[in-house]
């Protein structure tokens, strides 16, 4: 009788040990990370696609801020806190307001200009940051000369200009050929800019076939910094405007 009871105890003990071993083998690692065979493995559950929420499209100091006719800056008299004079060729004296940009744009701009020089083109900063007050002076002068309807095609009203963000600038070529003119896009310099700007985080903000979307005439000289991630994504998807990429209203009306 004792032998039978001892045998039964041993069977139960062995079965329990096997059950415990089985549970441990099936349990996740002590680090809390799924194992390679787990259905929730990062390789199987990681989200794919571009993160459009990485930066704000409404905060004025965001590199992805979208400013257009129906979307003014908030506050409307916004002034960037990190304006500097970049170490690149300048059209005007360094003391001029327009020769400033935001600090984080400087190195990408220097890299773009250096690459252009290596390719045989000499670029310079034509116009960068513009304050609310200065943009008002420009806009009012265009209205006085050509009327408001014409002025609205080529000039932003104060508070609606990308130049006020410190992230946009007008690029010029050394010989000043096609200065602020659409023909810049047909020059070797303009074509090089259009083909290579995205590599350094810039886009041509107002393209020829998207006037109805951006609300502005074609400006091959107007570059906008958005960072290399977004610029490369736009290039990869062949999307020309921030409005289309982020599904944000634009157009010609304020």
Which of the residues are catalytic? 219
Question: What residue has token string 């405007």?
Answer: 241
Closest CA relative to residue 245, chosen from 48, 53, 47, 59: 53
Tell me the C-alpha distance between 99 and 30, whole Å: 57
Which residues have C-beta within 8 Å of that of residue 229, sequence separation ≥ 6? Answer: 50, 54
Helix (H) or strand (E) holding 219: strand 219-225
- For tokens 């990485």, the residue is 54
Buried b (16+ CB within 10 A) or exposed e, 115-133: bbeeeebebbbbbbbbbbe
Four-residue CA torsion sign, 223, 227, 228, 233: negative
Find residue 168's DSSP bridge partners. 224
* Gap between the Cα atoms of 34 and 37, Å rounded: 8
Measure the CA–CA gap between 151 and 139, rounded to whole angstroms. 7
> Are 91 and 124 contacting, i.e. CB atoms less than 8 angstroms apart?
yes
């Amino acid at each position: 009788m004792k032998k039978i009871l001892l045998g039964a105890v041993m069977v139960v003990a062995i079965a329990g040990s096997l059950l415990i071993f089985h549970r441990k083998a099936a349990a996740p690692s002590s680090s809390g990370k799924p194992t390679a065979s787990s259905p929730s493995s990062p390789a199987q559950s990681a989200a794919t696609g571009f993160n459009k929420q990485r930066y704000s499209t409404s905060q004025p100091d965001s590199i992805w801020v979208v400013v257009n006719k129906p979307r003014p800056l908030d506050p409307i008299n916004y002034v960037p806190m990190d304006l500097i004079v970049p170490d690149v060729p300048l059209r005007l004296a360094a003391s001029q307001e327009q020769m400033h940009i935001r600090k984080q744009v400087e190195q990408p701009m220097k890299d773009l200009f250096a690459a252009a020089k290596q390719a045989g083109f000499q670029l310079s900063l034509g116009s960068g940051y513009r304050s609310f007050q200065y943009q008002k002076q420009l806009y009012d002068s265009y209205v006085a000369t050509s009327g408001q309807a014409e002025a609205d095609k080529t000039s932003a009203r104060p508070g609606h200009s990308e130049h006020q963000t410190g992230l946009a600038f007008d690029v010029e070529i050394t010989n000043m050929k096609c200065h602020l003119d659409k023909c810049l896009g047909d020059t070797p310099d303009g074509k090089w800019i259009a083909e290579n700007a995205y590599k350094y985080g810039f886009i041509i903000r107002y393209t020829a076939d998207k006037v109805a979307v951006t609300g502005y005439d074609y400006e091959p000289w107007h570059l906008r910094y958005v960072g290399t991630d977004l610029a490369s994504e736009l290039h990869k998807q062949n999307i020309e405007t921030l409005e289309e990429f982020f599904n944000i209203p634009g157009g010609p009306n304020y």
